[in-house]
Structure 1
Amino acid sequence: MKKEQVVNCQFSVWYPIFKKHSIKSLILPLPQNVIDYLLDDGTLVVSGSDHNTQQTHANNSDSDAEEDIQAPEFPEFTSKVQEAINALGGRVFPKLNWSAPRDANWIALNSSLQCDSLRDIFLLFKSSDFITHDLAQPFLACSDQDSPDPVINYELVLRKWSELIPGGEFRCFVKENKLIAISQRDYTQYYQHVWKQEEQICHAIQGFFSQHIQYNFLDEDFVFDVYRDSQGRVWLIDVNPFGEVTDSLLFSWEELTGGGGIAQHGFYPYVQEGPAFRCTTSEVTVQPSPCLSYRIPRDFVDLSTGEDAYKLIDFLKLVRWCYKTFVI
């Protein structure tokens, strides 16, 4: 996987090409001060709300002082974001150039990525390792590390909120402009209709690929996610690099790159003239979600193992502050 391939999978690169086959979205440039705020580990308060000041404990192991910290505010950006949210119906699915904060839905009150304000978005973004990866090291897994990193203009992507049924989502793998594999996106659940409608699903996705996607993307190797609705229509949801930075789901990257002995000339031998299709075939084969590990904050892990004494000190001070504030 090359850096150029990662660049080509940015939302603002592929969305204009396939706009009419995807979910309505708006793209806003991300100001540098917002980027700095998202990357600031020391900022515990969340901005973007009507309440400018929130009381929290200062992250300072050398002081017992408790401080009032004012969340940074971005009036102009907040206004633009809210205007875009309203234009998209009042509820949106947020992401950056590549990633959505799927690993942080545990922190939201509704346990989903549905947002109706910048405050909701910031809460998810500041809790997401996926977002931090986008901002800090998007080219970490690339093979051409000796070449200079391309300049990235970071953007906030707001997608009109749609109630997508997880059983309708599929990940598709393209090698040399051939659709070689399709995987059930949510392999943590067994969807009987997916298993029973394998032929129809493959036919619909193959038709969508050949009519709208094949040869129209900037690379010949890539991964794309689709949604097949109740009417059988297929929608493009996302495009990802063809490489280990992208979850291969029910396949392995060794298989997909040909090293596993399955791929032959872009097709798989046990499905004649078509891509390999894999789904969870019974409740016995259900696997745990890969995002479960993100539901326990790293700080809690450090506390439980005793690896960071300063975090334990800060935690005890925070407990004392909470006791004084809410009990006394």
Structure 2
Amino acid sequence: MKKEQVVNCQFSVWYPIFKKHTIKSLILPLPQNVIDYLLDDGTLVVSGSDHNTQQTHTNSNNSDEEEDVQWSDDEDTATVTAPEFPEFTSKVLEAVNSLGGRVFPKLNWSAPRDANWIALNSSLQCQSLSDIFLLFKSSDFITHDLTQPFLQCSDHDSPDPPINYELVLRKWSELIPGGEFRCFVKENKLIGISQRDYTQYYPHISKQEQQICLSIQEFFSHNIQYNYLDEDFVLDVYRDSWGKVWLIDLNPFGEVTDALLFTWEELSSGNGLSTNQPPGDVAQQQEGVAFRYTTSEVTVQPSPCLSFRIPRDFVDLSTGEDAYKLIDFLKLKKSQQEDSEEEEEQEEEAPQ
């Protein structure tokens, strides 16, 4: 993966090329003071003054009064005022309204998928700049975009290309996770397709595997192949209930992109993909394309994003990945129980 490939995967680079094959979106330059705010390690303070009062006709009488939401761990902590970005706020609200009042936000490359747990609706659906800020300031993916987008590039000794950071607002669409697929392209050839939400079992995929694979191949060959700037890349697509395929995103062909049901070792080998796969996953060969998906509820796994919302130790315990942690946990529970029983005995023996 070269730095140039990462640059070419920026939304503003590929969107004009494939605009008619993807979701309607608007791109706004990100001011430096907003970037500084997003990178500020201080108290998370989100302004609520930008609520979109134009989002529905029934809410036209909403109050325009400003309101600050302030979070603090200590009542004695000095009040922190949320920064205001009036000009940028106005542009964002105008864009949100033109896209129907609800948007899916992202930066040049990433969306804050690891932070949807912090939103009140547990969703990436946003209606105001404060919604966007809350997600962005809570996301490691967004921080990665802003601080080290070229971290895993092989040409790390070369100077980093200049980046103009942008806020991407996409018209909100209700996408069914079972309709999302990740496609791996090497030397302009589609070599692998993986179920995007591989942690869940979707019966319709096994029933329609041939139709799904063929429709994605046709979409790729007719609309994407040879039209992109690189010959190695990864694309995310969505197949709707009518069988039409839409482009959702483009990603670099490298370890910075999740290989899902494949491994980067096999994707990068250049020797073709083996039909061997983890138990419960299937690889169907369709004209040289390996199609992998979860085949039964037995293989259902917790979402990888869980590690961003709770301590990693808890994730290991829930999945049984670390037996030693489980043993330590059981020992701790036993010790706590013994201590509790000892305290109860002492209370009973104490003089009344």
TM-score for both structures, normalised by structure 1: 0.85
Amino acid at match of 1:115: C
Kindly state the Cα deviation for residue 52 of structure 1 after the two structures are TM-superposed. 4.9
Kindly state the Cα deviation for residue 263 of structure 1 after the two structures are TM-superposed. 5.9
- Counterpart secondary structure, 1:279: strand
Amino acid at match of 2:24: K
Kindly state the Cα deviation for residue 204 of structure 1 after the two structures are TM-superposed. 0.2
Structure 1 residues 243 and 157: CA distance shift in structure 2, 3 A: same
**Aligned match for 1:114, one of 125, 144, 162:** 125
Paired residues in the alignment total 292
| CA deviation vs aligned residue, 1:288-320 (integer Å, no higher than 9, x gap) | 21101001279x99xxxxxxxxxxxxxxxxxxx
Residue 310 of structure 2: aligned partner = 296
Q: 2: CA distance between counterparts of 1:257 and 1:174?
A: 10
Kindly state the Cα deviation for residue 55 of structure 1 after the two structures are TM-superposed. 4.2
Residue 7 of structure 2: aligned partner = 7
Residue 78 of structure 1: aligned partner = 89
Q: Quick check: 1:28–1:155 contact (8 Å CA) kept in 2?
A: yes
Structure 1 residues 235 and 57: CA distance shift in structure 2, 3 A: same
**Aligned match for 1:225, one of 208, 212, 236:** 236
Residue 25 of structure 2: aligned partner = 25
Q: Quick check: 2:46–2:70 contact (8 Å CA) kept in 1?
A: no
Q: 2: CA distance between counterparts of 1:83 and 1:262?
A: 47
State the Cα RMSD in Å.
Answer: 2.2
Structure 1 residues 55 and 270: CA distance shift in structure 2, 3 A: closer
Q: 2: CA distance between counterparts of 1:102 and 1:55?
A: 24
Gaps (5+ residues) in structure 1? 302-328
| CA deviation vs aligned residue, 1:243-272 (integer Å, no higher than 9, x gap) | 0000000001111112787369xxxx9625
Higher RCO, Cα 8 Å, sep 6+: 1
- Counterpart secondary structure, 1:219: coil
Query: Is 1:287 aligned with 2:301?
Result: yes
- Report the structure number with the largest CA radius of gyration: 2
Q: 2: CA distance between counterparts of 1:270 and 1:169?
A: 17
Q: Quick check: 2:22–2:247 contact (8 Å CA) kept in 1?
A: yes
Structure 1 residues 297 and 24: CA distance shift in structure 2, 3 A: farther
Trace 1:113-262 onto structure 2 (pairs within 5 A): 113-258=124-269, 262=273
Q: Quick check: 1:30–1:154 contact (8 Å CA) kept in 2?
A: yes
| CA deviation vs aligned residue, 1:215-240 (integer Å, no higher than 9, x gap) | 00000000000000011000000000
Residue 80 of structure 2: aligned partner = 69
- Counterpart secondary structure, 1:193: helix
Structure 1 residues 231 and 53: CA distance shift in structure 2, 3 A: closer
Q: Quick check: 1:56–1:68 contact (8 Å CA) kept in 2?
A: no
Residue 315 of structure 1: aligned partner = none
Residue 314 of structure 1: aligned partner = none
Poorly superposed stretches of 4+, deviation over 6 Å? none
Structure 1 residues 95 and 256: CA distance shift in structure 2, 3 A: same
Amino acid at match of 1:208: F
Structure 1 residues 218 and 228: CA distance shift in structure 2, 3 A: same
Q: Quick check: 1:174–1:221 contact (8 Å CA) kept in 2?
A: yes
Kindly state the Cα deviation for residue 17 of structure 1 after the two structures are TM-superposed. 0.1
Q: 1: CA distance between counterparts of 2:97 and 2:71?
A: 31
Gaps (5+ residues) in structure 2? 51-65, 276-282, 316-352
- Counterpart secondary structure, 2:80: strand
Q: 2: CA distance between counterparts of 1:102 and 1:73?
A: 25
Amino acid at match of 1:244: E
| CA deviation vs aligned residue, 1:80-133 (integer Å, no higher than 9, x gap) | 000000000000000000000000000001101000000000000000000000
Q: 1: CA distance between counterparts of 2:182 and 2:173?
A: 18
